[in-house]
A and B are shown apart, each in its own frame.
Chain A
Amino acid sequence: MADTGAIEAGLRSGAQWLVAALEAEDVDTIFGYPGGAIMPVYDALVDSRLRHILVRHEQAAALAADGYARASGRIGVCLATSGPGATNLLTGIANAYLDSVPLLAITGQVASGLMGTDAFQEVDIFGMSLPVVKHSFIVRRAEDVAAVVHEACAIARSGRPGPVLIDLPKDVAQSRAPARPVQHDAIPAPVKPAAAALAAAGMLLARSARPLLYIGGGVGIARAEMALRDFVSCTGMPSVCTLKALGAVNAASPYNLGMLGMHGSPAANHAVQSCDLLIVVGARFDDRATGKLDTFAPGARVIHIDVDAAEIGKLRSVDIGLAGALPWILAELAQPLQIEPWRVHCAALHDLYRSRYDAPGTDIYAPALLRDLSLAAGERAIVSCDVGQHQMWVAQHWQIEAIHAHLTSGGLGAMGYGVPAALGAQLAQPQACVICVTGDGSIMMNIQELATLRRYAIPVKIVLLDNACLGMVRQWQELFFAERYSEVDLSDNPDFVALARAFGLEAFGIERREQVPDAIRRLLETPGPVLCHVRIDPRANVWPLVPPGKSNGEMMDTAA
């Protein structure tokens, strides 16, 4: 409880310092779930202007904070108690780590004297989370709490962002102390690459006949979209994007060849295989993007630009590595190029492999539905995906206009991401039209968050593509495991429309193609949270596909 006299004397509890420090960091929203060891912090929240969103599972707190951070560019904050509360955060923390999202995870801990005694709800979350955090702290003294919060936020946001964990023992949260003066450890500014390396890169670029940009999510993280578009405009270079970079360049440009990799566009993969220079910007040669690495871009020299020097040369040796701030480096490298034959070739690839939406039959064709919905939703749309076939259909067919309008669990591939990330994004961007595209497998991983949508009247539009199975696993079993289907059948799914209504959401279902236009209208015109259940063919697969372990040049485009 607040002790006015102590506060006037400059003394506050560790929990009060924590809340005050979050407010000072301009945090306005936190996602969490209370419990024993974190109760002092929940008590301090009563007197705070922080908006706390009570989720129904701690994993969703971390994923909602992730969605909030991606949609806003601000730090996302989640809060949980010790033991199971802390372990439930881990998937969300790992998600933020693999996608470089600025996240602050605060966990209660048993009292200091009980740590290491296997106390009730004690786990070593500091130790358990070491592989998936950018940094972490156990706060040992109440007077250190505010300084640790400020340092944690600075670390989470700086350079290559990532999750930072603060573990707060209950006695530290409860004891009163004056604040230690905050001493900001200088976060080093990104280094600038050597002038000689920049000059060499410029020469390589000028001499290239077939240069290609390979754009990664780092462009969005660095808020370098404008610099990138200026670079593209100056050089005229064609480009390909990773899953996380979709939206980085003008979606309608014939020189934007779309996503590369396993479910990438043939135009993107063919261009990569035939380019003579690859300029990699904020990407990391992920295996889903490169396919068989030693056959990836076989004729290309490589210039790799990244704020994280440890990414350069990690998987593919480079001719020139440029570690530093992306906007500055792109501006330094920009130069008009004489590459018209290559541009004509890439535009022809773009045209040749344009997606078609005239699938035969009367079943709902998910790619066409997603395309039409994205066009109808327009520039206000933010799409939050779950993980699976629908995630790849969104990547292939959604008209993504900006990186931050596409939230997807890229590195971790965490089913259950879609709904919590969407609610976090909607709270960060109240004017946006936030649409969650999910599947019948994924939504059940965090179905309880429909209650959170209802409680706070968060107007997320959910499109549930239901193929009555774990579609991506089923597709791989069909193609690579001799059709030996193992534990992928979900034909006994609940009645999702009734389920959503039980949570208090408006909900409706469609199963025929002619119902799609009205469904899109209804989704977009419903003021509150709404779920549209879409029955699709269980046999539908995601095409094209580069088989695992194969070169990106060996795409399959049908099972035959």
Chain B
Amino acid sequence: MIHRLEVTLQDAEGAMLRVLGTAERRGFRVRALHAVVGADALCRMELTLEGSRDAELLGRQLARLHEVRTATVRVAP
């Protein structure tokens, strides 16, 4: 199953690695990734993930990372 997640996070050393590592360790494969750091020092990541586990649960697991401000699961196109 394909899931789309939008994650907003503080632009800190290792922050993107933490998000990607969490997604992979929790049972999802990263199929596509787009990330931009804005002038507001926030990084906006859009991830397309493949996995059979609950993406809403992954969203909560991402949200508890210290740098993550929001983690939203979108319906896959």
- Interface, chain A (partner B; CB < 8 A): 126-127, 130-131, 134-138, 140, 155, 159-160, 308-310, 312-314
When the two chains form the complex, which single residue of B13, B64, B66 contacts A309, counting CB atoms closer than 8 Å?
Answer: B64
Are A130 and B13 closer than 8 Å at their CB atoms?
no
B14 close to A (CB within 8 Å) = yes
Are A138 and B57 closer than 8 Å at their CB atoms?
no
Are A313 and B64 closer than 8 Å at their CB atoms?
no
Are A130 and B21 closer than 8 Å at their CB atoms?
yes
A-B contact pairs, 9 of them (CB 8 A): A126-B13, A126-B14, A130-B17, A130-B21, A135-B66, A138-B13, A138-B14, A155-B66, A159-B64
Query: A126 — which chain B residues lie within 8 A by C-beta?
Result: 13-14
**In the complex, what residue of chain B is closest to A160 when comparing beta carbons?**
B64
Query: A131 — which chain B residues lie within 8 A by C-beta?
Result: 21, 25
* Minimal beta-carbon separation of B11 from chain A (angstroms): 14
Extra 17 A-B pairs, beta carbons < 8 Å, given A126-B14, A130-B21, A138-B13: A127-B14, A127-B17, A130-B14, A130-B18, A131-B25, A137-B13, A138-B14, A140-B13, A159-B64, A309-B60, A309-B63, A309-B64, A310-B57, A310-B61, A310-B63, A313-B54, A314-B57
Query: A138 — which chain B residues lie within 8 A by C-beta?
Result: 13-14
Which residue among B21, B54, B64 has the maximum number of chain A CB atoms within 10 Å of its CB?
B64
**In the complex, what residue of chain B is closest to A158 when comparing beta carbons?**
B66
Query: B13 — which chain A residues lie within 8 A by C-beta?
Result: 126, 137-138, 140
Are A308 and B14 closer than 8 Å at their CB atoms?
no
**In the complex, what residue of chain B is closest to A159 when comparing beta carbons?**
B64
When the two chains form the complex, which single residue of A130, A137, A160, A313 contacts B57, counting CB atoms closer than 8 Å?
Answer: A313
For the complex, what is the distance from the CA of A134 to the CA of B61, rounded to whole Å? 11
Query: A159 — which chain B residues lie within 8 A by C-beta?
Result: 64
Are A136 and B57 closer than 8 Å at their CB atoms?
no
For the complex, what is the distance from the CA of A313 to the CA of B64, rounded to whole Å? 15
Are A136 and B14 closer than 8 Å at their CB atoms?
yes
Query: A130 — which chain B residues lie within 8 A by C-beta?
Result: 14, 17-18, 21
Query: A312 — which chain B residues lie within 8 A by C-beta?
Result: 60
For the complex, what is the distance from the CA of A310 to the CA of B53, rounded to whole Å? 14
Are A310 and B64 closer than 8 Å at their CB atoms?
yes
Given contacts A310-B57, A310-B61, contact A134 B14 (CB under 8 A): no
For the complex, what is the distance from the CA of A138 to the CA of B21, rounded to whole Å? 18
- Scan B48-69; emit 1 where CB is below 8 A from any A CB, else 0: 0000001001001101111000
* Minimal beta-carbon separation of B52 from chain A (angstroms): 15
Query: B18 — which chain A residues lie within 8 A by C-beta?
Result: 130
**In the complex, what residue of chain A is closest to B66 when comparing beta carbons?**
A135
* Minimal beta-carbon separation of A190 from chain B (angstroms): 12
**In the complex, what residue of chain A is closest to B21 when comparing beta carbons?**
A130
Query: B60 — which chain A residues lie within 8 A by C-beta?
Result: 309-310, 312
For the complex, what is the distance from the CA of A107 to the CA of B60, rounded to whole Å? 30
For the complex, what is the distance from the CA of A136 to the CA of B65, rounded to whole Å? 11
For the complex, what is the distance from the CA of A395 to the CA of B18, rounded to whole Å? 36
Query: B63 — which chain A residues lie within 8 A by C-beta?
Result: 309-310
For the complex, what is the distance from the CA of A138 to the CA of B54, rounded to whole Å? 32
For the complex, what is the distance from the CA of A73 to the CA of B39, rounded to whole Å? 41
